[in-house]
Amino acid sequence: MSETRCAGTFLGLLLAVALLGSTNLSAQVHRSATGIGDALILPYWTAAGGNDSLLSIRNDSERASAIKLLWLDEQGGVARSANLYLNARSIWTGAATDEMNPRMVHPLQANACLLPLVLNEETEYSANVREFSLGATRGSMEIIEMASIALDSPLAPEGRWIDCEALAQRWSDGAWSVDAAEGLLPPAGSLSANNNLINVALGGMNTIEATALGGFSDVVQHTLPEVLTPDLSQAVDSDAPGGGVRSAVCEGGHCRVDEWSRPVEAVAAALVTSAVISDYSVAPGLGADFDWLLHRPLDRYQDSVEGFSIGSSPWVSFHTRGGDRYVYCPPQVGCIPGSPPGTDETPFDSDEFLLELDAALHVLSMSREVFGGEPISPILGHPVELNATPFPSLSEFEGNAFDEGIVRLRFDGQDTPLVAPGGRAYVGEPVIAVGFQQFTNGGLPGGTLANYRGTEAPRYEVTIIEPQE
């Protein structure tokens, strides 16, 4: 069997864009290199830790769009569902706020309709502001385009939906109560989204871009606002030769296409990674903190989709910025200088060194304070299930060598890769990661206070094992 390992670098992104442009992927599920698609995964929103989450959803198509919004809690359960009817070339915004009473606050917008109508009730703020309860303090989102609509349709002339009350009436006793697809077209595939995580007290903002899937569905999947589908397990590929759903993974110079009997497996193939890598700093002189969010978007489907399973037993390692120091971190004993069994390129099998990920969201905090205090991440205000900081286990004899460096989460130690019917194996786990770096009152002369944040885009590695000839 031959193995291909690819790193997600800028050059790799350019190559992926070129490959996507030369390959017809309109009905093959793939991870979009442009951030635009017909299914979006927003890995994190929160109203905790002094943070507010400003959500923006964009439709860059010339056609209006019908979109399913699923707010998920941190365990992956659906906390709130809604339908968003968004005009062509438009943006819908809303903010998740208030840790004690988490809710979504959104302006009354002429370019969009949010159903059910109860989500648009007037509030004490003003006649132009609406709010509704989220039922959770933090979580993720699935944003699925259900349908689009022709420019000459009386429902959305020139890409603008008719008023919200009229759309609601179509569900109650109108055409959609009989046929939910009436008058609609398949998704246009031009959605994008992000979440601006804002902490006013600290003067910090992090932008989290949604991961986009292209080629997710080529049919209308329009449902009532309270219905929790379509979701990420319901990709549709009408042209697949075997009646399944095809995935396309473009890495290492060409696109690999496989057909899967379970649609969620096509999504998994598009998202799988064998390693996630990020820079970090926890330098005390800079007041530096680093939180690493790990989102497992398909975890919730292991219970709902028969036969679907994604093993996850990663391990954590650190390098200094110069690359000349290396440690590995058994969760039971902390970090140890040296190299783990095998080499940096070779996976190893030892349960002693593996982490167990058993939820949809995990935060790996590398801040010194977390070890001795409350297990709450200093940036996100999220409970810390994983604490993989090299302190204090290294600080006694390593000095400040690991104040700054590179952290790597490796998924290639597991022995249950995702294997396509043709034998091609995708090694790793469908994971989305985001790094949050914060500096507080550090390094500036004259006693100047400094609070600033950055969002670390991780590097992804993809390992594909080709079948034997």
Domain presence at residue 396: yes
**Statement to judge: residues 362 and 225 lie in one domain:** no
Q: Identify the domain boundary among 174, 200, 231.
A: 231
* pLDDT tens sequence across 181-227: 999 999 999 999 999 999 988 778 999 999 999 999 999 999 999 99
Q: Which of 145, 93, 81 is nearest to 118 (CA)?
A: 81
Domain presence at residue 252: no
Domain presence at residue 144: yes
- Kindly report the average pLDDT of the chain as a whole number: 83
**Statement to judge: residues 227 and 279 lie in one domain:** no
**Statement to judge: residues 162 and 309 lie in one domain:** no
Give the range of the structural domain holding residue 452, as residue numbers without chain letter. Answer: 271-466
**Statement to judge: residues 184 and 86 lie in one domain:** yes
Q: Is 447 left (phi over 0), alpha (psi -120 to 50) or beta?
A: left
Domain presence at residue 265: no
**Statement to judge: residues 328 and 458 lie in one domain:** yes
Collect all residues with Cβ–Cβ distance below 8 Å to 93 and sequence separation of at least 6: 54, 55, 56, 57, 106, 107, 109
The pLDDT score that the predictor gives to residue 289 is 85
Q: What is the DSSP letter of 95?
A: E
The pLDDT score that the predictor gives to residue 154 is 96
**How far from 257 is each of 30, 244, 254, 303, CA to CA, in Å?**
10, 12, 10, 27
The stretch 227-252 carries a mean pLDDT of: 95
Q: Domain count of the chain?
A: 2
The pLDDT score that the predictor gives to residue 103 is 87
Q: Identify the domain boundary among 200, 231, 262.
A: 231
More confident residue, 112 or 282: 112
**Statement to judge: residues 450 and 336 lie in one domain:** yes
Domain presence at residue 240: no
**Statement to judge: residues 81 and 220 lie in one domain:** yes
The pLDDT score that the predictor gives to residue 359 is 85
**Statement to judge: residues 206 and 284 lie in one domain:** no
**Statement to judge: residues 277 and 217 lie in one domain:** no
* pLDDT tens sequence across 406-447: 888 888 765 678 999 999 999 999 999 999 998 887 556 666
**Statement to judge: residues 139 and 284 lie in one domain:** no
Tokens standing for residue 71: 């707010």
Domain presence at residue 29: no
Task: Answer yes or no: pTM beyond 0.75.
Answer: yes
% of the chain exceeding 90 in pLDDT: 53
Domain presence at residue 113: yes
Collect all residues with Cβ–Cβ distance below 8 Å to 303 and sequence separation of at least 6: none
Q: Identify the domain boundary among 180, 200, 231.
A: 231
55 touches 47 (CB < 8 A): no
The pLDDT score that the predictor gives to residue 235 is 98
**1 has pLDDT over 50:** no
**Statement to judge: residues 227 and 134 lie in one domain:** yes
The pLDDT score that the predictor gives to residue 326 is 61
* pLDDT tens sequence across 325-384: 566 665 555 566 655 544 454 444 455 556 778 889 988 877 655 544 557 887 888 887
Burial string for 45-80 (b: 16+ CB within 10 Å, else e) reads bbbbbbbbbbbebbbebebbbbbbbbbbbbebebbb
**Three-state SS at 286:** helix
Give the CA angle between residues 30, 33, 35 to the nearest 5°.
95
pLDDT band at 448 (very low <50, low <70, confident <90, very high): low
**How far from 373 is each of 280, 368, 438, CA to CA, in Å?**
21, 9, 18
pLDDT band at 138 (very low <50, low <70, confident <90, very high): very high
**Statement to judge: residues 428 and 314 lie in one domain:** yes
Domain presence at residue 440: yes
pLDDT band at 252 (very low <50, low <70, confident <90, very high): confident
The pLDDT score that the predictor gives to residue 364 is 82
The stretch 61-84 carries a mean pLDDT of: 96
* pLDDT tens sequence across 107-134: 878 899 999 988 876 666 566 778 888 9
**How far from 268 is each of 61, 166, 403, CA to CA, in Å?**
26, 38, 35
**50 has pLDDT over 80:** yes
